[in-house]
Amino acid sequence: MGIARHVHQFASRTIFVQNNDVEKACRVLNRILSNEDIFGQFRRTRYYEKPTYVRRRVNFETCKSIYNEDMSRKIKFLLRKNRVDPFPGAS
């Protein structure tokens, strides 16, 4: 199971160059690496980070993800369709 997961991760990061367009392939690779936070991880580990700063950063990222998840849930709730009254309270 572990090997298959690593093979899948490698295959998902494989970029094919089409029509000798290396610039486009580099842009796609940079987008994939930035989405997976590889660049941020590299920047963080370039220098030593004190354990207290690590804890602060991890706690902030956790709170931010919880907030973003909650806000996206609220926005989906407000924008949902097929409601009896799409704008409750507005007459």
Contact indicator for 15, 29 with CB cutoff of 8 Å:
yes
The pTM of the full predicted model, rounded to 2 decimals, is: 0.49
Question: Which one-letter DSSP state was computed for residue 20?
Answer: T
Q: How many CA atoms lie within 13 A of 5 on its CB side?
A: 2
Q: Which residues neighbour 49 within 8 Å (Cβ) at sequence distance 6 or greater?
A: 57
* Residue whose structure tokens are 């089409």: 18
pLDDT digits 0-9 by tens, 4-50: 555 555 556 778 888 888 999 899 888 888 888 888 888 888 888 89
pLDDT digits 0-9 by tens, 63-86: 999 999 999 999 888 887 766 666
